[in-house]
Amino acid sequence: MTAITIRDVPDDTLNALKVRAAQAGKSLQAYALELLSREAVKPTLAEMATRLERETRTELDTTDILDAIEDGRDRR
């Protein structure tokens, strides 16, 4: 595995992370790795938009929609 060094972490940020790690019963390293791992698997906004576009694309046209409406009315 590769090591990561983060420089210039503000003291208040480091202290907050240490407290949260302790509350979770983890070392700071384990807690930070968990945070990074969780972030890495979340899709980005661009990835979500691409997926939404792909999954909601349709080949319907106005005629198809009007025909479906008419079919629904006929079934009443």
Answer whether 65's CB lies under 8 Å from 73's CB: no
DSSP H helix total and E strand total for the chain: 4, 0
Which of 9, 7, 31, 8 lies closest to 21 in space, CA to CA? 31
- Would you state the pLDDT for residue 50? 94
Share of the chain above pLDDT 90, in %: 79
Whole-angstrom Cα Rg for the chain? 25
Q: pLDDT grade, residue 48 (50/70/90)?
A: very high
User: Which whole number is the average pLDDT over 41-45?
Assistant: 95
pLDDT, mean of residues 7-21: 98
Mean pLDDT computed over 14-37: 98
Does the reported pTM lie above 0.85?
no
List the domain boundaries for the chain. 11-74
Q: Give the Cα-Cα-Cα angle 14, 4, 6 (nearest 5 degrees).
A: 35
